[in-house]
Amino acid sequence: MSYRTTTSALPSHSRPSSGLATSNNTQSSALQARINEKKAELESLKQLRDLSAGLAGQMQQLEDKLATLSNGTQAVAEVLSNWNGVLRAVYMASASIPKPKEGEAEGEEEEKKPALPQTLVRIPVHQAEAAQREAEATAEAAGE
């Protein structure tokens, strides 16, 4: 009896190893694709972070501008509330103007014309004096 050895065992043994290599390549390429997806996602998140920071900065500027606008509105409201007092003072000044009587000297035209109220203006005297002194000192320094 003779036993024959078959050589077909070797090729069948090499087939699974090539299948394993194909499986490793498929798994490696799938991992590489997943890594590439994650890198792209990371880039997108970085862009989103940068754009969000820009938007936050613009919102801060808008908040500052609105605060300035609010302060300006308050200043305008204060000025308008002062107008009532200004108009009242003008009325009182114009009401105190003496009205000419009909029986007085008709020959003098100056007396017939109604006298105008004195101008009601506030002038900061202390600041004006200081500015004048500075101007004089500058003129003296330039003259020497």
Listed by start position, the domains of the chain span 21-97+116-143
Average pLDDT for 14-36? 77
Q: What is the pLDDT of residue 93?
A: 76
Query: For residues 92 and 118, is the Cβ–Cβ distance under 8 A?
Result: no
Q: Where are the alpha helices (DSSP H) in 4-124?
A: 9-95, 109-112
Cα–Cα distance measured from residue 133 to residue 121, given in angstroms and rounded to the nearest whole number:
22
Say how far residue 60 (Cα) sits from the centre of its chain: 6
Judged by average pLDDT, the poorest of 41-50, 77-86, 91-100, 110-119 is 110-119
Residues 6+ apart with CB under 8 A from 119: none
Q: Residue 17: pLDDT above 60? A: no
The DSSP 8-state label assigned to residue 114 in this structure reads: P
Q: What is the pLDDT of residue 72?
A: 87
Q: Residue 8: pLDDT above 80? A: no
pTM higher than 0.75 for the full model?
no
Mean pLDDT of the chain: 77
pLDDT, tens only, 54-102: 999 999 999 999 988 888 888 888 888 888 888 888 888 777 766 656 6
Q: Residue 119: pLDDT above 80? A: no
Q: What is the pLDDT of residue 24?
A: 83
